[in-house]
Amino acid sequence: MLETLGVERAVIIQPSIYGTDNSVTLAAIKQAAIPCRGVAVIDETISDDEIAALDQAGIRGIRLNLVDVAGPTGDMPIDIARRLADRIAPLGWHTEFLVHVDDYPDFDEMFAGFPTHIVLGHLGYMRPDKDITHPGFQALLRLMQGGRCWVKLTGPYRISSGDLPYPGVTETAHALIDCAPERVVWGSDWPHVMVTKPMPNDGDLCDLLADWIPDEDIRRKILVDNPARLYGL
């Protein structure tokens, strides 16, 4: 798939279904024919030696999936996230969250002074009935402007009520890019797990970039320069 798309470097994200067993992700990084980095899932039982081993294997961040476990607004386990972030900060890793920003109108205040950079998937993962005027999305933009928050252009089918070309997503992408183009990266979201719509074709997803990022220089920044900085590629 990567060869077909012309991808020359990649980042493999630990799927939630494997929990904290990162062995498949690590094997994929090691066996890849192109330079790869990874994002792992860990918990507070992990030892410092294990974290160091993950770093040597190419891991550059940790991921917390809060979509299925977070409670009502304000119930994000921020204390746990901060403790984990404190441990990985010396390595220069980031903390990735899978979270609906429309659940958190004070999202920027929640992450004030967070120990690491944070990364959000699926353009902030707003629910399809929300738009860029929502307080949670506006809080995300403020956090991006602070320089320590990144957003991934991934999974447009997860935040749009329609099918390809996924109505409403272009507006969201433009808002994020206009706010902080140096804090945006792209991802395929392959292999598209738990998709209830028609399975997307990855070539079609790549073609959306022409509408999302019409400026060639900014497109190169998002596809090449930004991920090189974020993942140490």
Q: How far apart (Å, rounded) are the C-alpha atoms in residues 205 and 222?
A: 15
Q: How far apart (Å, rounded) are the C-alpha atoms in residues 52 and 119?
A: 21
Q: How far apart (Å, rounded) are the C-alpha atoms in residues 136 and 130?
A: 10
Catalytic annotation on 189?
yes
Phi, psi of 220 (to 5 degrees): -65, -40
15 CB neighbour count, 10 Å cutoff:
14
| Phi-psi map region of 184: left, alpha, beta (phi>0 left; psi -120 to 50 alpha) | beta
The amino acid at residue 2 is: L
Q: Report the half-sphere exposure of 8 (CA within 13 A, side-chain side).
A: 5
Q: Which of 75, 189, 202, 207 is catalytic?
A: 189
Q: Which residues are catalytic?
A: 189
